[in-house]
Chain A
């Protein structure tokens, strides 16, 4: 591989990380199509690269969120039992499937993500003050209002089930799975959206690590591709999150929903 190729990979990582950070869906959703469609990298290798990038962005984000007390560490640990189990199963399954089948499954996932983003745009989650009912109670200070928000976790078996599915999708397709976990934690368990997002992000790194060594041992991790793309995604995510605090464009999100739909179609027809 030439030097110019991995500079291009780094730039691609920055771009996909920025978009992922801007939209709050992580870099993997855009990184995998970029690697497959632009670079012609085999699907298994693209998934392995994305898994490593997911570990990096999750770890960097979680380091900040834990200190801000936004993460419910106890809930995260309980749900990680399910996500890790799902991820190991997903990683093992992915290595039994052909790249073509994985690409088609990934295309369907992109359509689901686009649909969920559109749904989220039409029905924004309500940040109501939660009464302290439920188990695994926690609190955090909301930076916007300065108020202390206390909440408890409800209907935990259902959230465990969703976490198992999210972990499985993560191991199988190399994405974080936050797109499934955050709405479940918010709408099913009654966790405020900021705590749900931070706790999901905290878990994603461990979930991804559960399948990372499976891909590594099968020889799907190219050190040049993975390092260049991961450093790019890490820088891009930081940029995207900071941009997202300043730009609140509904139009931009709708444009990316359409782009995701087109990318899904291209991946399916590849």
Chain B
């Protein structure tokens, strides 16, 4: 019984940590984006069309990031928003792993159904 409770506590910590990391990372990215934007010309141009996930990632990790011009402020903001929107996906994945650690296979299945629905919607939206 005590062992069961210890596994459950560990599972809860895993889920909680996934959520905390997601919120903090996204908040820092969005905060940095707003700061960079405010240190620049005073007027920030928002692109008419949202970039794709791959565009955001490649621009985020490119050297152009260091130049911190107006478009890079936007890239930071997009990166923060995407991290935030993906946080619940990571939370469901963490729950799946946690149920697996508890050997609760029925709920591993339930979590996987939710995860598949989310990934399906993501793929459908961004195709």
Give chain A's interface residues, CB within 8 Å of chain B: 1-3, 6, 10, 52, 55-56, 59-60, 62-64, 66-67, 69, 73-74, 77-78, 80-81, 84-85, 88, 205-206, 208-214, 216-217, 219, 221-224, 226-228, 230-231, 234
Contacts and interface: CB of A to CB of B under 8 A. Distances in A.
Given A60-B19, A216-B85, 20 more contacts: A3-B43, A6-B34, A55-B87, A59-B19, A59-B88, A62-B16, A66-B12, A67-B13, A73-B12, A81-B114, A84-B121, A206-B114, A206-B118, A209-B85, A213-B126, A216-B50, A217-B50, A224-B37, A231-B30, A231-B34
A85 B46 contact: no
A1 B42 contact: no
B46 to A, nearest CB: 6
A226 B27 CA distance: 12
A74 B107 contact: yes
Contacts of A205: 19, 87-88, 91
Contacts of B110: 74, 77-78, 81
Contacts of B20: 60, 63
Interface in B80-114: 80-81, 84-89, 91-92, 95, 98, 104, 107, 110-111, 113-114
A77 B111 contact: yes
B85 A52 contact: yes
Nearest to A136: B107
B34 A52 contact: no
Nearest to A228: B34
16 contacts: A2-B42, A55-B85, A63-B19, A64-B16, A77-B114, A84-B121, A205-B87, A205-B91, A206-B92, A208-B88, A209-B86, A219-B50, A223-B46, A223-B78, A224-B44, A227-B81
Interface string B3-29: 000000001110111011011001100
Given A52-B85, A84-B118, A219 B15 contact: no
Interface of B is mostly: helix
Nearest to B80: A227
Given A69-B12, A77-B114, A231-B34, A59 B46 contact: no
Nearest to A6: B34
Nearest to B120: A88
Interface of B: 11-13, 15-17, 19-20, 22-23, 26-27, 30-31, 33-34, 37-38, 42-44, 46, 48-50, 74, 77-78, 80-81, 84-89, 91-92, 95, 98, 104, 107, 110-111, 113-114, 117-118, 121-122, 125-126
Given A56-B23, A81-B110, A67 B12 contact: yes
Contacts of B98: 73
Contacts, number: 151
A35 to B, nearest CB: 15
B50 A59 contact: no
A182 B16 CA distance: 21
Contact of B81 (A84, A88, A223): A223
A55 B16 contact: no
A213 B122 contact: yes
Nearest to A80: B114
Contacts of A73: 11-12, 15, 95, 98
B77 A223 contact: yes
A62 B21 CA distance: 12
B48 A219 contact: yes
B118 A230 contact: no
